[in-house]
Structure 1
Amino acid sequence: MNSERNVATMRRYFELLSRKDFDGWLDLWADDGVQFIPYHDDVLPPEVRGKAELGRLYREIHESYSHMRFTNVEIHAVHGADRVFARWHPVGRLLAGGEYENDSIGLFDFDTNGRITRYTEWFSPLGFSDSFEVTR
């Protein structure tokens, strides 16, 4: 376990997403990394498997913004596990006009190399589905 490394990875995670550096962001993931979205709606899939699909989805989402920032970011290592709990508030200006804001929490699991293997995200899909159309 390397909780300091995992917390640093999460800080980088939000930094890279806010810069739309998807190649750098994908380097944080294990090749077979998976994201679960328990409260998905008709816009998002319930899970996204592998770097290629993660990259496709996140590029599509974030290219809808002129800019995106993450505020109120809290990152906490889970004691005794290669796991991090995070809470954040995304704020973005949509290219189509308007703003997107939400509150999110997530659990991130890491492999022995410090790559993200599993990410479960909880957020309200209501504002998200009003703002985006994602290709599934």
Structure 2
Amino acid sequence: MEYDQSPVILAAQKYLSVVKGGSIDTWMDIWADDAVVEFPYSPDPFPLRLEGKDAIYAYYKNIAPL
């Protein structure tokens, strides 16, 4: 397998391409329904953890555009 064709590299390239495109709906298509995002040093009132695609979407749709 070529280094630039590894599944990890391809997934990272897709992720960065979607983020660069600026569409949160397209970005959310990448996430699994049971995805988890953790912010271990998040200050109040921000969450320490987001559980599930719906929670992730609800959080990110209200902050600065991708």
Structure 1 length as normaliser, TM-score?
0.39
SS in 1 for 2:37: strand
Using the aligned pairs only, state the percent identity: 27
Quick one: which of 7, 10, 16 aligns to 2:9? 7
Quick one: which of 44, 47, 52 aligns to 2:49? 47
Distance in 2, matches of 1:51 and 1:31, equals 5
Residue 13 to residue 43, structure 1, CA distance change in 2 (3 Å): farther
Unaligned runs of 5+ residues in structure 2 are none
- Aligned position for 2:40: 38
* Cα distance, 1:18 vs structure 2: 3.0
Distance in 2, matches of 1:25 and 1:53, equals 14
- Aligned position for 1:77: none
Superposed CA RMSD = 2.1
Distance in 2, matches of 1:44 and 1:24, equals 24
Amino acid at match of 2:55: E
Residue 11 to residue 43, structure 1, CA distance change in 2 (3 Å): farther
SS in 2 for 1:35: strand
Amino acid at match of 1:12: K
Amino acid at match of 2:64: H
Q: Report how many residues are paired.
A: 62
SS in 2 for 1:48: strand
SS in 1 for 2:16: helix
Q: Deviations over 1:47-94 (max 9, x none)?
A: 00111111111121124xxxx6xxxxxxxxxxxxxxxxxxxxxxxxxx
Cα contact 1:9–1:28 (8 A) shared by 2:
no
Is 2:33 the counterpart of 1:22?
no
